[in-house]
Structure 1
Amino acid sequence: METLEWNDSYGVGVEEIDRQHQRLFELVNILGRAVADGREEDIIGHVLVDMAGYAEEHFKSEQLYLEKHADFKDHFMAHWDFTKKCMELVFAFRKDKKVSADTLNYLIQWLKKHILEVDRQFFKELGEQGLL
């Protein structure tokens, strides 16, 4: 399974947000290792819940910055979709007691793409406008 490795290319220029993104990477990697190692179901369930909760907290922090941006609504909806997907994963896991490789790949690819293509651009534009 692919893992998320933090490097400067993921930085948005706001220390608080970068730390939160790093924590999301850690949680996805912990989940991936737990699934790959066949860890106990309760551990995987706790990690999923932690990740969903932390993602929601992070998005609230990030949105305080991004609400100043003209395209805030679209960004907010992307966050909402990811949060909803995380909660769906929690409920599906509680029912089926498994997390698929496709699910892990979705989380990894979404985070990478969102940070690199969306967050970095939003924060760059806010910085250029003197709004950070």
Structure 2
Amino acid sequence: MLTWSDHFSVKIESVDIQHKKLFELLNLLPENVTEGVCRQAPIDAILTELMAYAGQHFVDEELLMQHHHLDPRHINVHRMEHKSFIYDIQNMQEHLYSEEEVGDIAEKLVSFITSWLIYHILGIDRIMAAQIFAIHHGATPEQAYEARHAVNYDAATTHLMLDSVLDLWHLSMDRCHKLEAKLAAVTAAKHPK
């Protein structure tokens, strides 16, 4: 379960309110995945609402960045992360009920969304907020972008981000291993010895 705290605040009220709502929606998923069993109808409804809300949140963030004239380099990377999230969730959702280990896939989906949100909010969203504040205080978009590495993270934030990256890496490696096994099976079927 992902609990909202001020630790996740980017200090932009509209963004923080939407992030809190994403946490709330995400936290509904584990209630419907227990001991390897997942309840399809509630999970589908929650994922549909979560994806719709995330999609609108991403649009709102992108409009916020444009409104404050953030450097296009940041906007492009930020937009790419949003599109990647939508793609990954849709891909995982397609396989949610097509494989034997439904509970495992649902748990991985929850883990992926949790880790992605933590990393995204504490990473690029905080950098976005820092750039908006810098521009409000007289920096040009280019100067604000160039100073993005000056965002300081305390030890707890760094720890959360590293844990999230490791979780995402483990999930990616697991997916790669499964794809390699499927490829090996297809290759073996095409070229029997």
TM-score by length of 1: 0.87
Report the identity percentage: 26
Structure 2: which amino acid aligns with 1:26?
Answer: E
The 2-side partners of 1:36 and 1:94 are apart by: 15
Q: Which has the larger radius of gyration?
A: 2
Structure 2: which amino acid aligns with 1:74?
Answer: V
Instruction: Give, in angstroms, the shift of residue 96 of structure 1.
Output: 4.3
Q: 2:19 aligns with which of 6, 18, 21?
A: 21
**Distance 1:40-1:66 versus aligned 2 partners, 3 A rule:** same
The 2-side partners of 1:84 and 1:39 are apart by: 22
After superposition, the C-alpha distances for 1:58-84 in whole angstroms (9 at most, x for unaligned) are 100111112322111000000000011
Instruction: Give, in angstroms, the shift of residue 94 of structure 1.
Output: 4.9
The 2-side partners of 1:57 and 1:10 are apart by: 19
Instruction: Give, in angstroms, the shift of residue 100 of structure 1.
Output: 3.1
Q: 2:127 aligns with which of 118, 121, 129?
A: 121
After superposition, the C-alpha distances for 1:18-59 in whole angstroms (9 at most, x for unaligned) are 111011111111012211274531111111111111110110
Q: Conserved in 2, the CA contact under 8 Å of 1:48 and 1:89?
A: no
Partner of 1:51: 50
Give the alignment's Cα RMSD to 1 decimal: 1.9
The 2-side partners of 1:89 and 1:50 are apart by: 16
Q: Conserved in 2, the CA contact under 8 Å of 1:45 and 1:94?
A: no
Counterparts of 1:33-52 in structure 2, within 5 Å, are 33-36=31-34, 38=37, 40-52=39-51
The 2-side partners of 1:101 and 1:17 are apart by: 27
Instruction: Give, in angstroms, the shift of residue 17 of structure 1.
Output: 1.0
Runs of 4+ in 1 over 6 A off after TM superposition: none
TM-score by length of 2: 0.61
The 2-side partners of 1:49 and 1:128 are apart by: 36
Partner of 2:10: 12
Higher relative contact order (CA 8 A, sep 6+): 1
